[in-house]
Structures are given as structure tokens and as C-alpha cells.
Structure 1
Amino acid sequence: MGDRNDALRAARLRAGWRTVDQAAKRLSEHGQQLLDDRHFVVSPRTWRRWEGERPGWPPEETAVVLRDALGRWPEDLGFSAPAGWIRPEALQEDDVNRRQFVSVTAAALIPGPTVRQHVDPALIGYFQQQLEGHYRADMFLGPHDLIGTVSAQYQLIDKLVRSAKGEVRRGLLRVGAAYAALVGWLYQDAGDLSAAAFWRGVTQEIAVRSRDPHLIGYSLVNQAQVRTDLGDGYGVIDLCVAALDESDRLFPKVRIMAMQQQAHGASLIGDRTAVDELIDRASGLLSRVDDDLPWGNACRRTPGYLEVQRATCYGRLGLGREAESLWAQVLDAVPATARRDRGVYLARHATAAAAAREPDQAVEVARAAVEIAVETRSARMLRELATLERAMGPWHDAPVGRELAEILAPVNEGS
């Protein structure tokens, strides 16, 4: 932590509290109003200790006041949380999240039917068409509004699979794997990696049951996406290499997906050469993508898809100027309809600008990203904005840093 608690000091300055004395007075006033307790007082001496090398841990009611006044819990303000500390709001949030996860997970674990039913082959096409609609809705709505809908349709597909036979059964397994993959993605975008990993596992199981090599490769790339978010570069590479083991049998689209994801793994271990080689090899396959599979079509649907991956990898490698230049080109081609993806790209662009020592540019780009983040509440976007905030650390005390704090306030207040 060094010789002072910079996180608390930065939060104080963002709040406009220029001195320790002013901060102690304002927090005391805030606490008295919030708690309806005129005896709530934080002294300047206490605040100085908080900004020192060993800030200790505030009483629980003070922690609540700090959270309400500064938009951060103490553990995010440089304090060291004691064993057993649970945020007051987390108890309720965890219970809600647990109930939602149990409810949605039940779609994957429902017992088999006791009475079989006729399954019309036309249902395969119906579910494929619905899937494309879900992909489009995801771009507009974000994850939270779709998880229940998509998982309920997966449950219906799974029920039909248990009655279907022959090629109809295999067709339903293939489309069911695509639905499970989408549920996994929605959870990943919502920031719940445990649920995402569960549904990626369901995807892989059904892909193997379908005996479709393309779908099995796709399911391994899905697993690698979770490993990327966990920062496990070697795990990403292992899974992508496994997906490419029989690359001669795979559609170009699946090979592109595996190569670009492997590039993310390479960026996590600091291997720029491998990043460029993998993205370049994937680029050479784009013109050969001609399958009619309903899943994994981001490389066709997203303008500049592979350059988006390269820019993301460059940002992760700390190549600020190269990443900033690429993002500027990519964003020109992203349509307004891809709103959530655009928000993620804008946040990454802003971070790259900060790494390139262009803080004013970073703040300007961040404005548009925050507007989209407030609408979608995508955890992926919020995570990118938190990365931006860290990258802007050198300018915390400067006017541009305070301007960024004001821009980020709407998302920080709800985080």
C-alpha cells in the first residue's frame, strides 16, 4: 500500500473534499443524516489514520456511511477487510443470485419424461430461428433480461430430446448445445463465472452426445472464454489447442474461433508474437466461412471481428498506442445496433488511450461508454470501466481525473 492509502485519498478528492478536515466534517454530516444519529462523528485524526499506511477497519455503521457517501465499500477504499466481513447488501444479493441460479440450472437437470411424445422434425428449424432472434436481442438488451427466456427454451429442447429418435434427436442435441452455450455466455456477460462455467460444461456434454466435431470444437472454445476471464492464459491455450487437434475436419468458422481465443491466451502470458501469428492465420480463413450453422457467427456478424480481438490483446499486453490506433479504426465500422459490444469497445479504447498517455482522449471516449453501461448493466462493460479507472490513476488529482470520476459516478453508484 506504500506510505499512504491512495485509494481513499483519491475517493476523497473525487468527492470534492480537498482536505482531511473537510472530509471528516462532510462524512460526519452525511452519517448523521443517513443514520439519523447526531452523535455520529468522524474526527480529522481518524481520517488521517485512514489515509495512512495502516488504516485499520471502520465500525460497520461507518462502513455503511462510507459506502453511501463515496460509492465504495471500505475494502475498495484501501482498507483491509477483517475475516468474516460480509457487506450488508451482499447477503440479500447472494440470496437473490442463488435463487435465480438454482431456478435456471434446473432447466439443465430436469428429470426425464415418463410419457414419450411425438417430436416433429420442423421443431429443429423453429428453435434455430428463435436462436438467431435471441442473438439479436442480446445485442440490444444485455444479459439479465434474456437468461430466463433462453434457459426456458433450453429446458423444452432437453425435454424433446428425451423423446426424439435418430436424426431428429441429433438435430435437437445440436441446437440444444447452442442454446446452452448462449445461456453460458449470458451468465459470463453478467459477471457470474461460476454459472457460466456450469453452462459451458452443459454445452460440452451435449456437443459430445451429438457427436458433431464442429460443435465439440465450439464447446471447447466456450470453455476457453471462461478461462480468459479468469486470467488463465495456459488454460485458454490448452483448450484451444485441443479444439484444433483435428482442424482439418473443422469448418473454417470453428477454426477461426479457436485461433482468436488462443490469441487471447497468448496475450495473457505476454506472447505478442503468437498473438499476431494466430490472428493473421485466422484472418486468412475469413473468406472461406460459408456454413449455415446458427451458432458462432460473430466473425460474420461483427465488423472488424479479428481486429477487435487483436486490439483487445494489444491492450492486455500494455501496447497502448497500437491498441488505441486499432480501436479508432474498429469503432468506425461498428453499427449503432451493436450497442453493447460498442460500449465494451469504447471502454477498451479509453483504457488504451490512457495507456498511451492521452488522458483527455480517454475521458472523451469514456463518456459514450458509460451511457451504454448504465443502460445494459453488462458486468463485462463495468469491468472494462474499472480497468479504465485504474489506468487513469496517474491523473487522479488532476482536473481530467476528477472529470472522469464524475463521468463514472452513475456506474460506480450502482456497482
Structure 2
Amino acid sequence: MDRNDALRAARLRRGWRTIEAAAGALTERGQELLDDRQFTVSARTWRRWEGKRPGWPAEGTAIVLHDAFGRWPEDLGFTTPPGWIRPEHREEGKVNRRALTFVTAAALVVGPMAHQHVDPALVDYFQQQLEGHYRADMFLGPHDLIGTVSAQYQLIDKLVRSARGETRRGLLRAGAAYAALVGWLYQDAGDMDGAAFWRGVTQEIAMRSRDPHLIGYSLVNQAQVRTDLGDGHAVVELCEAVLDDAKHLAPKVRIMAMQQQAHGASLISQRRTVDQLLDQAARLLPSVDDELPWGNACRRTPGYLEVQRATCYGRLGLGVEAGSLWTQVLAGVPETARRDRGVYMARQATAAATAREPDHAVEIARTVATIALETRSARMRRELALLEQAMLPWHDAPVGRDLSEILATVSEGS
């Protein structure tokens, strides 16, 4: 590679036609963002960034680059240092930060609350509500649900402090499931700090409940965060910890651990392990017959394990295989499941680009962009950023310019 095409493409998309214009604009942006009048980026520095050896920017500069492009340096062609784990973009203005602060404070209240009678029927009430929240998530997405689910978690936390015996244990189990859902909503919205906090809350409450299935589920939740951070070895380790005592776990929990471990294996380029784990999970799928109200994606999601396989194949660079699987999967996804459909189609477009079918990739991207604007999905925008990287070989071709125009509409509407 004679130049850093990723940064160059991002610069041109931003409308900075020359290196001098980009350096000046980033300097101005950095001085305002960091409140530091000494912050400067010279044209010489930018020229090096777009060269063969871009190096790695200082922490403050990385933050300014992210603010300008919505992407971290490793996605802009910089040389990633050993041990780097990417921070995720916080979707400022999209996530209800006030709700996070409010419910976090409630979860960490010191000492007992005023005692009240807790009817055992409340356990069933919260469990029944949970299924409704899962369905709503499919149609609404995270931003409209975080406040509602967080408020119910706060109520459960309050009731647990007064409840005793089996009612207390039942509420703890419900609280762990609600905390897991809040964690997922923050993760889906692109707020990895919020997601990591709530995954920790899930694990704590699961441990307090002494429920081995929930404890396993909470570790899989932690592994999901590590998958999004690109830390494949940590994903594998967490899932192996779940499966160490597999014979005592519900088939559903074992399936969740196996499919998540497959994602970890794909991050460290182990295709054979990916297939072995997903094939084992497929053999277990007919055995899922529990009445647990949480973790039912394997029953609810059409082609659940093939979705995981296609995603893993995409990470492994197997464009043809992944594209074929996505075609099968999407045939069974209802039009009403807009958010999932958009994410899957974005991955299908990346697979097409990897298979050197750029026109097909852009055709798919047009539909994805419309769904991304409707749903405000951070996951979908992250997938479109990966598509942009896969399409770099065609950046200066007409098909590449078409993609830039499509993605610009998503950036403007986000």
C-alpha cells in the first residue's frame, strides 16, 4: 500500500478536498472539543497520516479524529498498536444518558429502603412484562425502550430489598433478566460504557440469585460486549467458563455460549472451530423446551444459528459463503423486523464487496441506508462503516462514488 486510502476516503467524504484544508479544519475542531488552543495538526502531519506509514495518533488526536469522522483510528487506516482494544462510539444525543444516570444511582443506593409488603404474584408480573419488552425491541429499537425497561428494573431493585424467601429469589432472577436487557439496549445503541456497566449488574444479580442458568447467561452477556470490542480471546475464555459445567445447564444457555464462542473463534481466524461450535449448537436446538422468560432469541429469531454462521463467515473474509447464507436467512426474516433485517442486509452487502461484487453491494446498501435512517440503529451504522472499508478498492470508481453518496445521507441523518 502506497497510501492510507481509508483516511483519504474519509477526508473526501467530509468535504475536505485538500490535505491543507483537512489539517486546518481538524485543528479548529480539536481546539474547540478539547478546549486547548495549543492543539494543532499540520499539513505535514496529515500528509504522513495518508502515507504508507501513518503511525498512531496521540490520545487527544484520536478523540478529535473520532469526533470528526465518527470512527476510531484503526478504522481510518492507522497502524494499530499491540494490545489496543477499541473504545466504542457513544451515540451522544441518541442514548438517554439521563436514564442511565438515574437508574445507575438507584442500583447503587446505600443501605435499606423503607420496608414494604411484596406480593409473590409480582414475580410472574415482571416475567410476563419481559416478553413484551423483547417483542417491542424488535420493532422499536433501543432508544424508545431504555427509559421504560430501566424504570422497571429500578422498581424490581426496590422490591428485592424488602422481599424474603422464594419471592426475593424470584425477583432477583427477574432483575438479572431486566438488567441484561438494559445492557443489550445500550450495546445496540452504541454506548459500550453503559452496556459494560449493565452487563456487570446482570452478573452480580445472577450470582446473588444462585441460579446456574442465569449465571451462565450473564457470562455470555459479558462475552457479547467483548465480541463488539473485537477481543476474540476474551470471548472464548468467557464462553468456555460457561461450558465447563455444561451438563447442569439448560440447552438454551449452552446454545448461547456455543454460538457466542463461535464469534470469538471467528475473531481469531478459526473457521473450523466456528463450524464445530455452531454444528453442536444446532444439534441441541430441538432440546430447548424450558419456560425461562429470558434468552429466547434462538426460538424467536428465524434462522438463528445461520445468522451467527453468516456473521462469522463475514468476519473471516468468506464473502461468497457468507453471501449465500445471508440470502437464505433474509428469505425468512419478516419485513416488520426492520432493524434486524437492515443489519443482516448490511452484512450481506459487505459479503458482496468481499466477493468482488461491488455493484450488488451498493444496490443492497441503498435499502440499508433507508432503514438506518428510520431506526437510528448504531449497529447498522457500524455495519455500513465496515462496508465502506470493504469497498475501498472501488473508491475512485463510479460505484464507489455512489456508495459515498448513499452513506453521506446516513451520516447527515444520524
Q: What is the TM-score when the length of structure 1 is the normalising length?
A: 0.81
Q: Aligned partners of 1:204 and 1:77: how far apart in 2?
A: 35
Q: Aligned partners of 1:255 and 1:224: how far apart in 2?
A: 14
Query: 2:266–2:313: 8 Å Cα contact kept in structure 1?
Result: yes
Give the aligned partner of residue 336 of structure 2: 337
Query: 1:351–1:391: 8 Å Cα contact kept in structure 2?
Result: yes
Q: Aligned partners of 1:72 and 1:192: how far apart in 2?
A: 13
For 2:152, the aligned partner's letter is: Q
Query: 1:10–1:397: 8 Å Cα contact kept in structure 2?
Result: no
Q: Give the SS at the match of 1:116.
A: coil
Query: 1:392–1:401: 8 Å Cα contact kept in structure 2?
Result: yes
Taking structure 1 as reference, are residues 206 and 15 closer, same or farther at Cα in structure 2, changes over 3 Å only? closer
Q: Aligned partners of 1:268 and 1:213: how far apart in 2?
A: 28
Query: 1:181–1:200: 8 Å Cα contact kept in structure 2?
Result: yes
* Displacement of 1:104: 3.1
The answer to whether 1:222 aligns with 2:210 is no
Q: Give the gaps of 5 or more residues in structure 1.
A: 32-44, 58-63, 81-89
Q: Aligned partners of 2:259 and 2:77: how far apart in 1?
A: 37
Query: 1:6–1:51: 8 Å Cα contact kept in structure 2?
Result: no
- What are the superposed Cα offsets for residues 132-188 of structure 1, whole Å, 9 maximum, x if unpaired? 111111111211221121111101001111111111111111111000000110111
- What are the superposed Cα offsets for residues 238-266 of structure 1, whole Å, 9 maximum, x if unpaired? 11111112111111111100100010111
* Displacement of 1:115: 2.6
The answer to whether 1:407 aligns with 2:384 is no
Q: Aligned partners of 2:233 and 2:77: how far apart in 1?
A: 31
* Displacement of 1:285: 0.8
- What are the superposed Cα offsets for residues 82-102 of structure 1, whole Å, 9 maximum, x if unpaired? xxxxxxxx99959x9765532
* Displacement of 1:389: 0.4
Taking structure 1 as reference, are residues 299 and 166 closer, same or farther at Cα in structure 2, changes over 3 Å only? same
Q: Aligned partners of 2:393 and 2:161: how far apart in 1?
A: 59
Give the aligned partner of residue 383 of structure 2: 384
Q: Give the SS at the match of 1:337.
A: coil
- What are the superposed Cα offsets for residues 169-208 of structure 1, whole Å, 9 maximum, x if unpaired? 1111111100000011011111111221111111111111
Q: Aligned partners of 2:100 and 2:190: how far apart in 1?
A: 13
Percent of pairs identical after alignment?
75
Structure index of larger Rg: 1
Q: Aligned partners of 1:111 and 1:251: how far apart in 2?
A: 35
* Displacement of 1:6: 3.1
Q: Aligned partners of 1:284 and 1:73: how far apart in 2?
A: 39
Taking structure 1 as reference, are residues 7 and 275 closer, same or farther at Cα in structure 2, changes over 3 Å only? closer
Taking structure 1 as reference, are residues 350 and 91 closer, same or farther at Cα in structure 2, changes over 3 Å only? closer
Give the aligned partner of residue 289 of structure 1: 288
Give the aligned partner of residue 359 of structure 1: 358
Q: Aligned partners of 1:188 and 1:132: how far apart in 2?
A: 19
* Displacement of 1:278: 0.4
Q: Give the gaps of 5 or more residues in structure 2.
A: 29-42, 58-63, 80-88
* Displacement of 1:8: 5.7
For 1:354, the aligned partner's letter is: A
Q: What is the TM-score when the length of structure 2 is the normalising length?
A: 0.82
The answer to whether 1:178 aligns with 2:174 is no
Q: Give the SS at the match of 1:357.
A: coil
- What are the superposed Cα offsets for residues 376-396 of structure 1, whole Å, 9 maximum, x if unpaired? 222211111100000000011
CA RMSD of aligned residues (A): 3.6
The number of residue pairs the alignment matches comes to 380
Q: Aligned partners of 2:353 and 2:412: how far apart in 1?
A: 23
More divergent stretch after superposition (174-183 vs 190-199): 190-199
- What are the superposed Cα offsets for residues 10-58 of structure 1, whole Å, 9 maximum, x if unpaired? 35765899x869x97xx99xx9xxxxxxxxxxxxx99x96996499x9x
Taking structure 1 as reference, are residues 157 and 14 closer, same or farther at Cα in structure 2, changes over 3 Å only? closer
For 1:323, the aligned partner's letter is: A
Q: Give the SS at the match of 2:289.
A: coil
Query: 2:254–2:281: 8 Å Cα contact kept in structure 1?
Result: yes
Give the aligned partner of residue 262 of structure 1: 261
User: Residues 226-245 of structure 1: matches in 2 within 5 Å?
Assistant: 226-245=225-244
Query: 2:90–2:190: 8 Å Cα contact kept in structure 1?
Result: no
Q: Aligned partners of 2:96 and 2:393: how far apart in 1?
A: 36
Taking structure 1 as reference, are residues 13 and 165 closer, same or farther at Cα in structure 2, changes over 3 Å only? closer
Q: Aligned partners of 1:134 and 1:100: how far apart in 2?
A: 17
For 1:390, the aligned partner's letter is: Q
